Structures are given as structure tokens and as C-alpha cells.
Structure 1
Amino acid sequence: MPKGNDLPPMSCLHAFEATARHGSFTQAGSELNLTQSAVSRQIRRLEEDLGRPLFERHHDGLSLTPAGRHYAMVIQRILRELSDETASLRRRGNDRQLTLAASPTVASTWLARQLPHFQHAHPDIEIRILTVEDPNRLDLAEFDLGIYYHVPDEVDPPGLTAEAIFDQESVSAVCSPIYLERHGGIRDASDLLQRHTLMVVEDHFHDWLTWETWYRSLELAWQPPASTFRANSYQLLMNATMAGQGVTLGWTRLLAEELQQGILVHALPHALPSRGQLSLLLPQHRHLSVAMQTFRQWLLTSKA
């Protein structure tokens, strides 16, 4: 029997955690590849070690005692944290593996086109993409490098430093040729507000550039638009824009290929220099692996 601060056997803790989740010795045994009686013995051993019952046995099943419920929450949290940290260490231990975090829009419209060039030059580096809309919600343990639009002193995710990928960037009103075929040409900035549909993202993270800000910064007359299409996802709005739903604000370097191929066109001739720049986000106080250093050097030298 354990004494003092000795921990119960891990096999007992695993059996208890599985049984607490399933409420059944039989189902826990199936998960752990043990017999029902083997799981029951592990639980009994744990209860004897702790000196109190963890389950109430009924003719129709099991239920956790108050002590059992609390202990189950503790064990599940510890096992989850241990699993997460183990996965993180294994990932970091592979110097040729790279996890890139990006917004869904950046990942799908820009990064996905760039990666084949990088992987052709560095076929030994394994790439994994993590999409998170708001960089402030990133878990620093889950990724190596991030690619996001960064606004200094306004959108500064904690624990990260930013290096600009593009030396300059501008924001224009863009739409698809399909939209213009359906609704006719856009004569000027006033006509856009009066007769056309503006795509509006309802997302606090993107509030640093709104249609009203764009108009007023360019000294164009502003009034509430006659028609809007709203969503809380910029990626959804961009897909809807390319499908001919309306006119959106687009970052010209980010959408360079869509503009070059004619998938998107400029709805107006105006362009506003962007306060935000597509940037490489690096976790502070972390050793840069070979894969991280290689990708950083390739990205910043080839895309500036």
C-alpha cells in the first residue's frame, strides 16, 4: 500500500478516469483492453488506497460519489495537460516540423499558394497549418510561427513579435466581374454607397479598418450604404465577394493573384495605404528551430 505522498499506480488512475467517463466497468475495460473484472479490481485498489469510495454501485450501474466527482475532474485535467504537453514537446523535438498559424483568409487565399514554392525548395520540412481568426486567441504552445495582419500598438498579440512580410500594402474596394455583370458598373464612390452592396465584417479584430474609415481617410463623402451583406467571418465575405455578392475591402498584396487573374477587379480607382501589414509573428523567448529559421529567412527575403 502506498504511504505518505506516494501516488497511486497510473494503471489505477487510468481505470478510474475511463470508468468515470463511461459510468461502466465494461465500457472502460473495452477502451483500455481490459476485462470488466480487471477494471473493477483497479478501482477497488484505488478506493482502498484513498480510504473512501469513489463510486456508488447500483443494480443498474455506477454513479460517482461527491469525492469521486471531484477526483475525476482533477485526474482528467492532469491527464489532459500531460497529453497536451507531451504532444507539444514531441512536436518541438522534431526540428524538421513546422506549425504555421494564420487566419482562415490568409491561409486559404495567400499562404496556400506560397507553400508549394517553399516545400519545393525545402522538401524535408513538414508543414502543418493551424487556422485561428484572432491572433489574440492563439495558444503559444500550439504553433511555431504566425502569419497575420498586424497593426502596431492596436493589434498586438501578447507574447509575440511581428516582422512585416510586405514592405507596403494598400486597401482597395474590390468585387468580381460577375457582380458587375449583374449590377452594372460603379460610377464613383457615391454610386457605390447608393446602388451597390457593401460587404461588412462584424468582427472586433477587423474594426481598425471599416468602410467608413476607408471613405473618410480618402476624403470621400460618406453616408450609410443602401445595402449591406454582413458576416462575422472575413473569409466568408471574401468567398461571397468572389461569387458575385457584393463589394468588399481587399488588401491588394494579399489578393494580388486574384486581381491578376481577373477573379477580382477594382471597383473604384482609390487605394488607401494600410495601417496593418501582413506580418510574421514569432513567439518571444523561444529558441528558433532549424525549420523556423529556414521558413523565416525564405519568407522575409522572397516576399518583401
Structure 2
Amino acid sequence: MSSTMRDALPPLSCLRAFEAAARHMSFTQAGGELNLSQSAVSRQIKRLETDLGRPLFERHIEGLRLTPSGERYFRVVQRFLRDLSDETARLRRRGDSRQLTLASSPTIASIWLARQLPAFQRAHPHIEIRILTVEDPHRLDLGEFDLGIYYHVPFEVDPPGLTAHAIFADEEVAAVCSPIYLERHGKHITPEALLTDHTLMVVEDHYHDWLTWEIWFGELGLAWRPPEHTLRANSFQLLMNATLAGQGVTLGWMRLLEAEIRQGNLVPAMAHRLQSRGKLSLFTPRHRHLTEPMKAFQKWVLSGETPPQDH
């Protein structure tokens, strides 16, 4: 083998597979994080071990274990990938250390985040905000954003490479509608009538962080059957706009919709409320150096200093 080939770095795909497998101590979990099959991760690791001329893992009945060489190499590779990710993110932001890119779903971004940002920007006028809307947090590219704001259901919705911190300690979910809708259909709506005489907003192709009508009815101990009238869409933002326009009743997260309720744009359709399984959370990429804008926003949003804005 020529010296040029011996000096060549291993493929980045092999290094990423090794880092993920060593961090999880599982080829299967590494594959889930990288959207690869378990066998594909195994092939990448084997290719890397062949290139290095030594094993990186010891394979036992109880699972994987790093060899001494693997442990040293893991520390180097993890530091290298973290530094590469940080520098890539900085370059993609055109080197502007003042910029903060926030990722969120379209609904959270438009209904909640947009109301909070004026207060944050008044406190931190030197920070430039960029918002990236992505419906599914699992599709986030860790190099394209700094912090994320999504609903997080522990042990069910855990996007790889992210740590979740709850913004609100607790939150309730209730059936909500516009005052116009309530006036038009009567001010006293019962659970039974909700399923027969009203239009329910139904999100299709939802992710695991979504609470369905059937689950909501079941956990409240209410009798459930498929509703007779629905308006369906694969976008909660679209259905929320339809709800505000008086087209039906939707499930609403009360802290998320606090400003809309306080301003009278939305009202509870019934008194029933259910504790939310998920909490609005700040997602922070692991293995990233926090920039000053990231630290400032993290401290601000997790300190409870985010009252809904009326404008």
C-alpha cells in the first residue's frame, strides 16, 4: 500500500457510523440516528477497522464494548466531528456570530414563538434571529440550526443528537373553538354532542408527539366513537387557522394558545381538560459549543420570562 493511501483519512461516513455506534454502544441505535440499517452500520465499522488494521469493538453476548484503541479513537473522532459540525454551522451562517437560528414547527413558530421574539429582541438587540420551520424534528439537520422549540414526549419523541428541556412545567389540553363558532352552535357543548353535531379538526399523518381526539376522550373517561363531521389536514397550523375562522373545534395546548385565549380569539368549547403528555421544550444539539446568542436565548426561554405578547 502506498504512503499516500496510508496517510488518507477514513471516509467521513465511516467515522460518523463509528462515533454513533460507540456513543450508543449499539449498531441498531446508531443506524436509527443516521437513517441506516444495522447491517450498513456494521459494514462501515468493518471497513474502518480494516483500514486501521485493528478492532475497535469487542463483541460480547451482552453487547458491544470498545477496545482500548477504540476508546482512544472514539474521543478523537467525537471531538473532530463536533468541531467540524460547529465550524460548518458557523460557515453556513456566513460567519455572523450575532445570528441565532431557531428551528420549530410552523404552528409553534407562528402562534407562540413569533409572539415571544419581540421581548427577547428588546433584551438582546444585537442578536439577529433566523427561524427555520420544520414540521418533524426528526428531519432536522443539526448543522442548519442552533436551538429548536418543539413538543417533547419523553421516551417517545427523542430526535437523535438533541437534548430537551421543558419550557413550561405543565400544560393542559382542551377542546377549543372561536367565539363565533360557539355562538353559532350553542354555548353548552357536551362530549356526546361534540361527536355528532360539531366539526372536529383532525390532523392526519401526525407524529408521536400528537394527542389524538380518541386518546383525549379515552384518558378523560369519556365515551368515544368516530365523529360524524371532521375537517382533516396534515397541517395543525392550517387546522388552527380554520378553527380561528369559526370552522370547527380542535384540541388546543392551553399554554401555547394562552395569548389567543386571553385576547378572546379562542374559547374552551367544554370544561374538560387533560394534562398534556408532551411539554413545549427547547431542543439543544449535543456535542456543540454554545455560542453567546444560544446561551442568551436558552437562559431567557427557560427562565419563565416569556409572557405571551399582545401584538
Shorter-chain TM-score above 0.5: yes
Are the counterparts in 2 of residues 200 and 248 from structure 1 also a CA contact under 8 Å?
yes
The correspondence of residues 71-150 of structure 1 with structure 2, limited to 5 A, is 88-91=90-93, 93-150=95-152
Q: How far apart are residue 91 of structure 1 and its match?
A: 1.9
1:182: how far off?
2.5
Deviations 1:49-100 (A, max 9, x none): xxxxxxxxxxxxxxxxxxxxxxxxxxxxxxxxxxxx8675252743221000
After TM superposition, the structure 1 = structure 2 runs for residues 8-23 of structure 1, keeping only pairs within 5 Å, are none
Cα distance change, pair 87–275 in 1 and its aligned pair in 2 (3 A): closer
Question: How is 1:255-266 mapped onto 2 (pairs within 5 angstroms)?
Answer: 255-266=257-268
Structure 1 237/198 Cα, relative in aligned 2: closer, same or farther at 3 Å? same
Deviations 1:8-57 (A, max 9, x none): xxxxxxxxxxxxxxxxxxxxxxxxxxxxxxxxxxxxxxxxxxxxxxxxxx
Q: Name the counterpart of 1:250.
A: 252
SS in 1 for 2:189: coil
Alpha-carbon distance between aligned partners in 2 of 1:303 and 1:222, rounded to the nearest angstrom: 39
Q: 1:173–1:249: 8 Å Cα contact kept in structure 2?
A: yes
Residue 265 of structure 1 aligns to which amino acid in structure 2?
V
State how far apart, in whole Å, the 2-side matches of 1:184 and 1:241 are.
Answer: 16
Q: Which runs of 5+ in 2 are unaligned?
A: 6-86, 307-311
| Correspondence for 2:185 among 183, 186, 196 | 183
Q: Secondary structure at the match of 1:94?
A: coil
The verdict on how the C-alpha distance between 1:122 and 1:173 changes in structure 2, with shifts beyond 3 A counting, is: same
Who wins on radius of gyration, i.e. which is larger? 1
Look up the match of 1:232. Answer: 234
Rounded to whole Å, the distance in 2 between the matches of 1:101 and 1:180 is 34
Contact 2:102 2:146 (C-alpha < 8 Å) held by counterparts: yes
**286, 295, 298: which one pairs with 1:296?**
298
Distance 1:152 1:303, change over 3 A: farther
Q: C-alpha offsets along residues 88-146 of structure 1, whole Å, 9 cap, x if unaligned?
A: 52527432210000000000000000000000000000000000011011111100000
Structure 1 residues 118, 231: CA separation in 2 closer, same or farther (over 3 Å shift)?
A: same
Q: Give 1:12's aligned residue.
A: none
Write the letter of the residue equivalent to 1:285. Answer: H
Distance 2:236 2:113 in 1: 16
Equivalent residue, structure 1, for 2:206: 204
Q: Deviations over 1:175-211 (max 9, x none)?
A: 0011122222343111111110100000231564100
SS of equivalent to 1:156: coil
For 1:249-288, what aligned pairs fall within 5 Å after superposition? Answer: 249-288=251-290
Residue 157 of structure 2 contacts residue 209 of structure 2 at CA under 8 Å; is this kept in 1? no
Give the 3 Å change call, closer, same or farther, for CA 242–113 of structure 1 in structure 2: same
Say whether 1:215 aligns with 2:221.
no
The answer on whether the counterparts of 1:165 and 1:303 sit within 8 Å (CA) in structure 2 is no
Runs of 4+ residues deviating >6 angstroms = none
Aligned residue pairs: how many? 222
In the alignment, what sits opposite 1:65?
none
- SS, match of residue 99 in structure 1: strand
- 8 Å Cα contact 1:88-1:142 kept in structure 2: no
Distance 1:220 1:98, change over 3 A: same
Partners in 2 of 1:196 and 1:126 — Cα distance?
A: 44
Amino acid at match of 2:177: C
Q: Distance in 1 between matches of 2:253 and 2:189?
A: 22
Give the AA of the match of 2:258.
A
Asked whether the equivalents of residues 166 and 303 of structure 1 are also in contact (C-alpha less than 8 Å), the reply is no
Task: Indicate conservation of the 8 Å contact 1:148/1:278, yes or no.
Answer: yes
User: Structure 2: how far apart are the matches of 1:239 and 1:230?
Assistant: 13
- Secondary structure of the residue aligned to 2:193 is helix
Question: Structure 1 pair 133/90, CA: closer, same or farther in 2 (3 Å)?
Answer: closer
TM-score for both structures, normalised by structure 2: 0.68
Secondary structure at the counterpart of residue 113 of structure 1 = helix
8 Å Cα contact 2:108-2:150 kept in structure 1: yes
CA contact (8 A) 2:217 2:223 kept: yes
**Alignment-derived partner of residue 63 in structure 1:** none
